[in-house]
Amino acid sequence: MISYEKAPDVEAVAKKIIVVLSLAYIDQTRLHFYRSRGSKSRRVQARIHGMGRIWFDALGMLPHYIIEVISEEYDRLQQTEKEKVVIHELMHIPSRFSGGFVPHRGKINRRSVDKMHKEYTEKSSTLNSILETQT
Ligand SMILES: [Zn+2]
């Protein structure tokens, strides 16, 4: 059986990425993070969940997303790879935050994720040096 628990560590990784890359369209109050254990899926490190727009309308709520990391795969990755996994999932969120998904095709792949991660690394090191000179 699959068990789920909240994943504040993944949330922290995502929050930093969102701030550093200025992904302002991502409403962090409507983005949730879970860790699952006991999944049968092999080689899947994470996935993103949403619901069809009709659900949000019926429930009278705005769209939410859930990023789920699969403990057996995600937890053994190194920090850089974890960041890339989170970036990949964040890239599935469209800029309208509509509840739908950006498909992989032509947009989300090794190359585009690596490019975004490179930008993230560069910007966070700039940010760190600014913070260091201020203290
Ligand atoms: Zn994907």
Report CA(88)–ligand 1 centroid distance (Å): 6
Give the domain CATH number at 74.
3.30.2010
Mean pLDDT score across all residues of the chain? 94
pLDDT tens digits along 92-122:
999 999 999 999 998 999 999 999 999 999 9
Report CA(54)–ligand 1 centroid distance (Å): 23
- 125 contacts 118 by C-beta, under 8 angstroms: no
- 63 contacts 38 by C-beta, under 8 angstroms: no
Confidence at residue 135, expressed as pLDDT on a 0 to 100 scale:
60
Residue 76 burial by CB count (10 A; 0-12/13-18/19+): exposed, middle or buried? exposed
Confidence at residue 122, expressed as pLDDT on a 0 to 100 scale:
96
CA–CA dist 69, 75 (Å, integer): 8
Confidence at residue 78, expressed as pLDDT on a 0 to 100 scale:
98
Q: Which residues contact 33 (CB under 8 A, 6 or more apart)?
A: 6, 7, 8, 10, 11, 14, 66, 67, 68, 69
Global confidence as pTM: 0.92
Query: What is the domain extent for residue 39?
Result: 3-134
CA–CA dist 4, 68 (Å, integer): 9
Question: Nearest-CA neighbor of 30 among 57, 4, 67, 58?
Answer: 67
* Domains in the chain, number: 1
Band of residue 25 on the pLDDT scale cut at 50, 70, 90: very high
Confidence at residue 127, expressed as pLDDT on a 0 to 100 scale:
83
Report CA(57)–ligand 1 centroid distance (Å): 25
| Amino acid identity at 42 | R
CA–CA dist 18, 28 (Å, integer): 9
Range 70-92 average pLDDT: 97
- pLDDT of 86 higher than 80: yes
